[in-house]
Amino acid sequence: MIEFRNVSKIYGNNHIALSNISLSIKKGEFVFLVGPSGAGKTTFIKLLLKEIEPTSGQIIVNGVDITQLKRRKVPFYRRNIGVVFQDFRLLSDKTVYENIAFAMEIANASSKDIKRKVPQLLSLVGLLNKEKFYPHQLSGGEQQRVAIARALANNPSLIICDEPTGNLDPENSWAIMELLNEINKSGTTIVMATHAKDIVDAMRKRVVALEKGVIIRDEQRGVYGYDD
């Protein structure tokens, strides 16, 4: 599913963000990416999304070496990835329904498919009665649920979560994690960067720990392992 082969990323100021890391993630895995600020988590995610290029090494996703992917093919590659951010990134001038529909429109989905799929996704995340609401009318937990529905809109094989519970209270955080866990059980691969020690320790999924750009720990049913 995902393979990093001797990947390094050095930024222009000679800052080594990742140093010769190799990692394989199988289809259907749920992987927590942990480590202190500056460990390389954000760089890892940006490389997966092909927002930046590695200084050296190969990144294989679904059998494709994305380091060799031509620029015109990047939008098609990204359609197979759902992304959930800490700050939700919903379009404020669009309703809940329209936010999800817009993601499908960009992927050239038909209006028939959109009308069928959006209610299904809203039902999945428990917001079917909020389809006409705007983001500012929703709680943080509800906004994140919309973001997850949007991430699922184009049937991605991979969902990348960047601190998805960072702006949520404990109750909403756990609700979001239960939802992500159910999505993972359906076969979707999830890679989640987080500082949420309690969540990582309780869920006992695979944990990949980064520190100063290198992988210092890779454990099945792992724990967070940091004091921050």
pLDDT band for position 130 (50/70/90)?
very high
pLDDT over threshold 80, residue 228: no
Chain position carrying tokens 């390389």: 40
Q: How far apart are CA 98 and CA 42, in angstroms?
A: 29
Residue 113 Cα distances to 6, 44, 117, 131, 221, angstroms = 41, 33, 6, 17, 38
Identify the pLDDT of residue 20. Answer: 97
User: CA dihedral in degrees (170, 175, 181, 187; nearest 10)?
Assistant: -140
Query: Tokens 């960067």, residue?
Result: 193
What is the pLDDT, as a whole number, of residue 181? 96
* DSSP letters for 72-112: GGHHHHHTTEEEEETT----TTS-HHHHHHHHHHHTT--HH
User: What stretch of H or E contains 143?
Assistant: helix 140-151
pLDDT at 84 > cutoff 70: yes
The first and second tokens of residue 95, run together, are 């309703």
Residue-range domains of the chain with CATH? 28-51+78-219 (3.40.50.300)
Query: ∠ CA(114), CA(78), CA(178), 5° rounding?
Result: 70
CA distance from start to end of the chain: 31
Mean pLDDT of 70-88: 93
114 has a pLDDT exceeding 90: yes
Average pLDDT, the chain: 95
pLDDT at 226: 79
pLDDT at 216: 97
